[in-house]
Amino acid sequence: MNIDWGEGSIDRDEMGRKMHALIGEMYPLCRSITGAGFRETLSMVSRRIPLDIHEVPTGTPVFDWTVPKEWNIRDAYVKNGAGERVIDFRKSNLHVVSYSIPVEATLSLKELKTHLFTLPEQPDRIPYRTAYYQETWGFCLSHQELLKMEEDRYKVRIDSSLEPGNLTYGECYLSGEEEHEILISCHACHPSLCNDNLSGVAMVTFLAKHLSAQPNRRYSYRFLFIPGTIGSITWLSLNEDRVHRIRHGLVAACLGDPGRMTYKKTRRGDAEIDKAVTHVLQHSGQDYEILDFSPYGYDERQYGSPGFNLPVGCLMRTPYGRYPEYHTSADDLAFVSPASLADSFMQYLAVLRVLENNRTYVNLNPKCEPQLGRRGLYRLMGGDREAGFDQMSMLWVLNLSDGGHTLLDIAERSGRPFAAIRRAATALQDSGLLQTADNGNLLNG
Ligand code: ZN
């Protein structure tokens, strides 16, 4: 059984434009790990895919953590003595340190400066800063703007609230032939930042939409839209009894920048997802990089904590912290392109297609090579270009189909593309030379 999902008919330009347009829609919202901006973002996603929205009350214990108070903000500014807004939340939500407590005060420049954050080495950019777990406040601004500020009496106001409420997350579940799941997780907790956060949200949304329209899926899929760190900790805490179903997983982030694809391996390092992504990138015809797991980065840290050790890697373009626009106002709509988003989407789809079709077979004629000509298999390989595989692929499949090698193992060992190996296996199965070894594993639960 082959799962194809009509990748050939995807209009990449249109797909890229749609993802970029969704990013543009979400960009102005002031998101944080809780609050109205996060909910509004989920409602934009839910207009495109079926999404269950979960609300987890403040104070809920989640392993060693506690669901925090809910933060909401309406307005914030710093006014000079003349009453002019010299720092204005309405112009950019990055101006306010996320989770700032409400403030109303008049301060000297010296006093104010202890609450101001800039990037002296990138003087025209506003930094992105958070203060999630300490009750404080602050403003971010470009270093150029800071240098312009003179001694004055500054009126500071942050119209925010930090109160008991909920942590919100979204979950899209698509059932497949198996209860085994593929988990795709993205964080949606950053304000106006495109590559870090919104590129992942948009790509995952359209991936879920594409998969939901397919008639056949072997795996079930779970797409998570969560606040970083506390979101995955909360989800794992509430779903501990279900995580054994997760067979493969990817954290999606940083998918719209112009850089090459980068894959950060799972904690295990040799999981099937690690092999599948490596194979797809090797055969993508593009430059790429593979990184080993490290306990830093996005939510793969939580999925890969020792108590779970889930096979979840992180497939991105340029990794967090490795591009100068990262966590600054320059991570904007111009930094992410429809072409990069579309390319990322296609790479994800290619990985999923490998996983969906990665089966183990047994050669039913294992004593010496079978006579291929008698079964019309030479004709398939020679004259029929549609067959899409070559003699070597067929010989490799026959030789390694001993019940101990998956098609991906065979593709890896032979250096041939997975698609050719899979087509050869299908032809051999059709002619009665091959039988699946893993049909019995279609377990329930
Ligand atoms: Zn970030």
Cα(89)–Cα(95) distance, rounded to whole angstroms?
Answer: 6
Q: How far is the CA of 16 from the centre of ligand 1 (A)?
A: 22
Q: How far is the CA of 63 from the centre of ligand 1 (A)?
A: 23
Beta strand segments in 9-123, E: 52-57, 61-62, 65-66, 70-79, 85-88, 103-108, 116-117
Q: How far is the CA of 364 from the centre of ligand 1 (A)?
A: 52
Beta strand segments in 269-330, E: 288-291, 312-316
For tokens 């067929």, the residue is 394
Find the angle CA(192)-CA(290)-CA(338) to the nearest 5 degrees: 40
DSSP 243: G
Burial class (CB in 10 A: 0-12, 13-18, 19+), 444: exposed
Q: How far is the CA of 296 from the centre of ligand 1 (A)?
A: 12
Among 101, 232, 238, 104, smallest CA distance to 160 is for 101
SS3 239: coil
Write the pLDDT tens digit of every residue in 295-314.
999 999 999 999 999 999 99
Q: How far is the CA of 421 from the centre of ligand 1 (A)?
A: 39
Element (H, E) at 167: strand 166-174
Q: How far is the CA of 15 from the centre of ligand 1 (A)?
A: 25
Q: How far is the CA of 252 from the centre of ligand 1 (A)?
A: 12
SS3 280: helix
Domains and CATH numbers, the chain: 7-67+167-356 (3.40.630.10), 70-163 (3.50.30.90), 360-443 (1.10.10.10)
| Number of other CB atoms surrounding residue 265 within 10 Å | 23
Q: How far is the CA of 305 from the centre of ligand 1 (A)?
A: 20
Contact indicator for 310, 183 with CB cutoff of 8 Å: yes
What pLDDT is stored for residue 367 in this prediction? 97
Could you tell me how many residues make up the chain? 445
Tokens of 165: 């409420």
Beta bridge partners of 435: 362
What pLDDT is stored for residue 189 in this prediction? 98
Q: How far is the CA of 351 from the centre of ligand 1 (A)?
A: 25
Q: How far is the CA of 126 from the centre of ligand 1 (A)?
A: 14
Cα(336)–Cα(347) distance, rounded to whole angstroms?
Answer: 17
Q: How far is the CA of 314 from the centre of ligand 1 (A)?
A: 14
Contact indicator for 220, 174 with CB cutoff of 8 Å: yes
Contact indicator for 172, 199 with CB cutoff of 8 Å: no
For residue 362, give Cα distances in angstroms to 3, 40, 353, 430, 432.
20, 51, 21, 13, 11
Contact indicator for 249, 311 with CB cutoff of 8 Å: yes
What pLDDT is stored for residue 5 in this prediction? 79
Cα(200)–Cα(193) distance, rounded to whole angstroms?
Answer: 11
SS3 content of the chain, % helix, strand, coil (to 5): 35, 25, 40
Q: How far is the CA of 197 from the centre of ligand 1 (A)?
A: 7
- Angle of helix 391-400 versus helix 407-414 axis, rounded to 10: 120
Cα(350)–Cα(56) distance, rounded to whole angstroms?
Answer: 35
Element (H, E) at 203: helix 199-212
Among 397, 261, 385, 368, smallest CA distance to 317 is for 261
Element (H, E) at 25: helix 12-26
Element (H, E) at 30: none
Tokens of 72: 């909401």
| Number of other CB atoms surrounding residue 385 within 10 Å | 7
> What residues of the chain score a pLDDT lower than 70?
1, 379-388, 438-445
Cα(407)–Cα(426) distance, rounded to whole angstroms?
Answer: 11
Cα(53)–Cα(239) distance, rounded to whole angstroms?
Answer: 15
Cα(67)–Cα(33) distance, rounded to whole angstroms?
Answer: 10
Cα(272)–Cα(276) distance, rounded to whole angstroms?
Answer: 6
Q: Which amino acid makes up residue 262?
A: T
Contacts of 310 (CB under 8 A, 6+ apart): 183, 243, 246, 249, 266, 303, 304
Label the pairing between strands 288-291 and 402-406: unpaired
Tokens of 184: 């795709």
For tokens 């950053």, the residue is 190
Q: How far is the CA of 386 from the centre of ligand 1 (A)?
A: 45
Q: How far is the CA of 190 from the centre of ligand 1 (A)?
A: 7
